[in-house]
Amino acid sequence: MLTSNEMERYQSQLLIIGKNGQELLKQKKVLQVGAGGLGSPLSFYLVSSGIGELILFENDFLSLSNLGRQILYKTEEVNQSKAVLAKSVLNKLNPNTKITLIKERFTEESGENYLKNTQIDYIVDASDNFETKFLINDLGIKFNIPFTIAGIQGFDGQLISVDPHETACYRCIFGDIPNTDKSKPIPIMSPTCGVVGSLEANEVLKGLLKRGKRITNNLLMISLDSGDFTLIPIKKNPKCVCQLKH
């Protein structure tokens, strides 16, 4: 049941999703991998929308170079744990949402151990590397949990949501992990993080509420330089390694 405080807090949102929708969000658990450029706006909007619990996988420490795009944090917090800092900010934003920290890297072992022992309603990617994105895809399908994966570079972003065994997955598009030069930093414009992270939050909320049309069987390509948002249709690959494996 929603408290009077929650009824006031979410009054604008209640006009759209109603009391039943808000109570549904209050029951949901979302696992978010990463609390950086994408993860900052993503977590802000998930928590302010009133999900029941946000589980954050984040093991990094804040550096000065993060502050150009990671809006959860402040200059005086450099060298502190991002997970601890994020929890403090998000608890102040909305104390009604439980914030659970997993202060370790999301690996096959840590991810699988957590998912097989915890009921998760949605997984959302806010990582900065292909290995983690492919792992989220594989574990989401293995444990039959819907998920959203996004990537950003410069003024550009891309996003896909997946319903395991029903829609095309990340591997249906990209196959296997590409070889990239990990020694070079990824060029990113700060507003790109805000736009794509917000779109991810919207995908999660639509998935939890089972309303609207999520970006499934499509890859959304975003160019903030040109202002273009393009949906590229994607077909489920019957020979996809991940689909065959599970």
DSSP code per residue over 96-160: TSEEEEE-S---HHHHHHHHTTS--SEEEE--SSHHHHHHHHHHHHHTT--EEEEEEEBTEEEEE
Query: What Å distances lie between residue 62 and 81, 138, 225, CA to CA?
Result: 6, 29, 28
Residues 170 and 173: their CA atoms lie apart, in Å, by: 5
Domain count, the chain: 1
Count, residues in the chain: 246
Residue 244 has a pLDDT of: 54
Please name which of 125, 138, 144, 131 lies closest in space to residue 203, comparing C-alpha atoms. 125
Residue 25 has a pLDDT of: 98
List Cβ<8 Å contacts ≥24 apart for 67-76. 68/190, 69/36, 69/37, 69/40, 69/188, 69/190, 69/193, 70/35, 70/36, 70/37, 70/39, 70/40, 70/193, 71/40, 71/41, 71/44, 71/193, 71/194, 72/35, 72/39, 72/40, 72/43, 72/44, 73/40
pLDDT average per 10 residues of sequence, the chain (246 residues):
95 97 98 97 98 97 96 97 97 98 95 94 96 96 97 97 95 84 80 98 98 96 97 89 59
Read off the pTM.
Answer: 0.94
Residue 12 has a pLDDT of: 97
Q: What is the CATH number of the domain that holds 23?
A: 3.40.50.720
Cβ neighbours, 10 Å, residue 45:
18
Residue 22 has a pLDDT of: 98
Residues 172 and 187: their CA atoms lie apart, in Å, by: 26
| Span 73-85, pLDDT tens digits | 999 999 999 999 9
3-state secondary structure of 180: coil
Residues 229 and 60: their CA atoms lie apart, in Å, by: 32
Domain extent, residue 197, equals 4-245
